[in-house]
Amino acid sequence: MRYTAESAFVLHARPWRETSLLVEVLSADHGRIGLLARGVHGPKKHLLRAALQPMQSIQFDAIQTGELAQLRAAEAVDAAPVVCGDAVMAGFYINELCLRLAPRHAPQPELHAVYAHVRERLRTGALLAWTLRRFERDVLDALGLGLEYTMTGDGAPIDPAARYRLDAEQGPLRVHSERMGERQTFATGRALLALAADTLPVREDLASLRLPLRTVLLHHLGGRGLKSWEMLGELGRVVRG
């Protein structure tokens, strides 16, 4: 298979042998694609190396002959977001989640659009905690794994004053009693309704979404967590907002 002027976002790049890179990209038409970029460390290859940095939007030509496509050319479409501090870790998390959840060689136009949107929010310096919660919601929706946030798993409307745990298969389940230390693992009804309406919750409600959504993601990750969750104290400093 031949890719010509294929649009994609770079999710990850790592050295391979002395002069090459193994690159993972997310395209709209073909989903996640693994690329082998040979000879990228020569003195005249700085533009190619710059184009293959994570979060970069690119167009590339490649030939797919096996698991990895052989990269023939790539150029940046625009400048990747310039991020610093906690936003760097947020970008790492966004890329890792897409890398783990997106299947290879399957069209992903919705996920590609979600990535483009969160990339622009990072560029503009939007509130990280809310940016990541919306991204998690939208990734699940794009992959056909989304939940209903206005109704419980048994069809009852969400009570703004109640608390809920999120089940990856059933959706929100109301919590009728809480043991010591469990409160932070449940989302408020107000937070779920705000997430459904795409309306920024107040700080406490926003913070209540982090662990319940992580539980859902962990289920779809096959129970194996992300490296980015382990860094910065499970990303707590970034995502509590």
Number of domains in the chain: 2
**Rounded mean pLDDT of 82-86?**
88
Domain extent at residue 61:
2-76
Nearest to 135 by CA among 118, 119, 148, 149: 118
* 132 shares its domain with 229: yes
* 218 shares its domain with 112: yes
Q: Is the pLDDT of residue 84 over 90?
A: no
pTM value > 0.75 = yes
Contacts of residue 130, defined as CB under 8 A and 6 or more positions apart, other chains included, come to 200, 201, 206, 241
Q: How far apart are CA 28 and CA 5, in angstroms?
A: 12
- Say what the alpha-carbon torsion angle 119, 124, 130, 132 is, to the nearest 10 degrees: 20
* 70 shares its domain with 97: no
Q: What is the pLDDT of residues 87-136, one digit of tens each?
A: 999 999 999 999 999 999 999 999 999 999 999 999 999 999 999 999 99
* 66 shares its domain with 110: no
* 61 shares its domain with 102: no
Lowest mean pLDDT among 9-13, 84-88, 158-162, 180-184: 180-184
